Structure 1
Amino acid sequence: MKVEFAPFNIPLARRLQTAAGLQWVLTFLLLGSVSVSKKSVSHVLSKEGGGNISVIVLGGAEESLEAHPGKFTLFIRQRKGFVKIALTHGAYLVPVFSFGENELFKQVSNPEGSWLRTVQEKLQKIMGFALPLFHARGIFQYSFGLMPYRKPIHTVVGRPIPVRQTPHPSPEQIEELHKTYMEELRKLFEEHKGKYGIPEHETLVFR
């Protein structure tokens, strides 16, 4: 297998950059990270002996553009591929939510329909990833920079959702399990939001 690294073009810092690049790649591989493609996830779940899990961040690039402090918008309504894979392999679904993630950075206002959002969405289609304009604090000052704010992140894990293995799930079965997953995720949020300072009227917004 051939692995190609991106070029490091600053001569004076080449050794340092190379070391940092290798460290990132090795960390990525040692953690067992793989592509989120159907083939990769199916490979992980079908390994001999069982006991393997896949952790998938569902929202993707679209969701990052909605990651503003105090907002809880999840792009999940059209994300059903993970449900189909779970049914195919009989893998339980476990809802997980992290409180505080959107508080680490502030993002420039980009409501839908604005010129900034339009540009971001067009670039996303071209490049395959989003470019949110964010800022937070500096290393030695708290006014401006790209270092995250010192805010806690609390990750809560819900009850596993039993999934009976169905080699060829129907659209109705996929839809039903997807609906159950969203319901359990909302219950998880509602159950814990008070502990982490989320106002009672706030709730998850599924898109």
Structure 2
Amino acid sequence: MESESLKYDLKKVPKNRLKAWFGNFFYFYVMYLLSLQLFIYLIYKSLYEKSLVSGAILAFICTYQFYFAKRSETFIKFIKWLNFTQIFEDWTFVMEEPIQEKNSMIAFHPHCIFNIAFIWNNHINYEITPLASRVIYNVPFIGIFIRWLGISTVDAKNMKNKMKKGQNIGLLPGGFEEATLTSTQENRVYIKNRKGFIKYALQYGYTVYPSYAFGENKCYFTIEKFLSFRLLLNRLKLVGAYFISKYGWIPHHNFGIHTVIGKGIKLPQIVNPTQQDVNKYHEIYLEQLIQLFNKYKKEYNQGDQILKIY
């Protein structure tokens, strides 16, 4: 990868607002909201009204999702063509160095609501396998779109299988808890006790790249009260983030989203890392993430904010 390709700025790209708005409607309403409503409707018709037709449709779609749906280059090209990020005032992407061709792990922050930067950058700026929660992966109907995007699950078995092969992967270490912490007023990450990704990176000798998307926390109004209770819901694998924008599920867009991927942290391969090993390199990762945030925060309109660590 040439050095000039390490930075991408949407301001330099001609915008098609109408297509971008259609892309947002498709991505946030068709892929998520309408798909969920269709699933609930078919469940209701099948169980309450005993509709054989609805039951057959539900069974057919779920069978396709769980046994046949997979990454679709055609669907990914369609999402790229929609380019829904063009509704934002600006969209930049910076890599401090090229990503290795194998044995690379990109750790994204913050999760926020729809992790827009995570999904978009995976398919536009480099080719990695994005890993996400099994919950969203297995939600009927929504899971079809997730599979078409080439997203896989972040569970231990799947991660180990991919890392044994040296595949490059991207993940959101903060998970649901980091989504729950989303605040328009502060930059927050949930990482203190998230160390599993470091353990696996040590076991397979991966290079870990810390990444931060400045501005994504402003996409939605969120409920910030009752945080302890909402984090408790996350432990039960329930949603703890509640959000809305003035456009419903389509995000606010009168600002920029700026993603920076920092320099890689080359970890030694330790087949059986001790807790001390994990703690040591987790601390290095955390220091690098904070340094990355502090380095770019003024450039990307965060003023003197500090990165709050949970």
Give the TM bin, normalised by the shorter chain. Answer: 0.7 to 0.9
Instruction: Give the TM-score taking structure 1 as reference length.
Output: 0.77
Once residues 76 and 122 of structure 1 are traced to their aligned partners in structure 2, the CA distance between those partners, rounded to angstroms, is: 16
2:198 touches 2:282 (CA, 8 Å); kept in 1? yes
Residue 212 (structure 2) aligns with: 97
- Determine what percentage of the aligned residue pairs are the same residue: 25
Shift of 1:72: 1.2
Deviation of the 1:24 alpha carbon: 4.7
Amino acid at match of 1:83: I
Partner of 1:70: 185
1: CA distance, partners of 2:233 / 2:146? 26
The match for 1:124 is 234
- Higher strand fraction: Structure 1 or Structure 2? 2
Where does residue 169 of structure 2 map in the other structure? 54
Alignment match, 1:196:
300
**Length-normalised TM-score, structure 2:** 0.53
Task: Describe the SS at the equivalent of 1:155.
Answer: strand
Verify the 8 A CA contact 2:181 2:224 in the aligned structure 1. Answer: no
Q: How many residue pairs are counted as aligned between the two chains?
A: 181
Is 2:221 the partner of 1:106? Answer: yes
Q: How far did residue 70 of structure 1 move? A: 2.4
Residue by residue over 1:163-192, the C-alpha shift from the partner in whole angstroms, topping out at 9 and shown as x without a partner, is 111101111111110000001111111111
- Amino acid of the structure 2 residue aligned with 1:41: M
Q: Which residue number in structure 2 is paired with residue 170 of structure 1?
A: 274
Q: Does the aligned pair in 1 maintain the 2:220–2:252 contact within 8 Å?
A: yes
1:108 offset after TM fit, Å? 2.3
Specify whether residues 131 and 175 from structure 1 end up closer, same or farther in structure 2 by C-alpha distance, changes over 3 A only. Answer: closer
Report the residue type matching 1:169 in the other structure.
Answer: P
Cα 1:88–1:125, aligned 2, differ >3 Å: closer, same or farther? Answer: closer
- Secondary structure of 1:195's aligned partner: coil
Which residue in 2 is equivalent to 1:33?
A: 151
Look up the match of 2:256: 152
CA deviation digits over 1:111-154, x for unaligned, max 9? 54xxxx52x3454344x03232212112xxxxxx3321013211
State the superposition RMSD in angstroms.
Answer: 2.5
Task: Specify the alignment match of 1:85 in structure 2.
Answer: 200
Decide whether the 8 Å contact of 1:64 with 1:130 is kept in 2: no
In 2, the alpha carbon distance for the partners of 1:89 and 1:175 equals 17
- Range 72-81 or range 61-70, more displaced: 61-70
Distance, in Å, in 2 between the alignment partners of 1:146 and 1:24 is 15
SS state of the match for residue 153, structure 1? strand
Distance change (3 Å), C-alpha of 1:88 and 1:135:
same
Q: 1:46 and 1:191 mapped to 2: Cα distance?
A: 34
Retained in 2: the 8 A contact 1:62–1:130?
no
Q: Distance in 1 between matches of 2:262 and 2:182?
A: 22
Q: Which residue matches 2:16?
A: none
Is residue 89–residue 165 contact of structure 1 (8 Å, CA) maintained in 2?
Answer: yes
CA distance in 2, matches of 1:90, 1:66: 31
Query: Which residue matches 1:142?
Result: none
Hey, which of these two has a bigger chunk of helix by percent?
2
Can you give the 5+ residue segments of structure 1 that lack an aligned partner in the other structure?
Answer: 139-144
Letter in 2 for 1:134: F
Q: Are 1:136 and 2:254 counterparts?
A: no
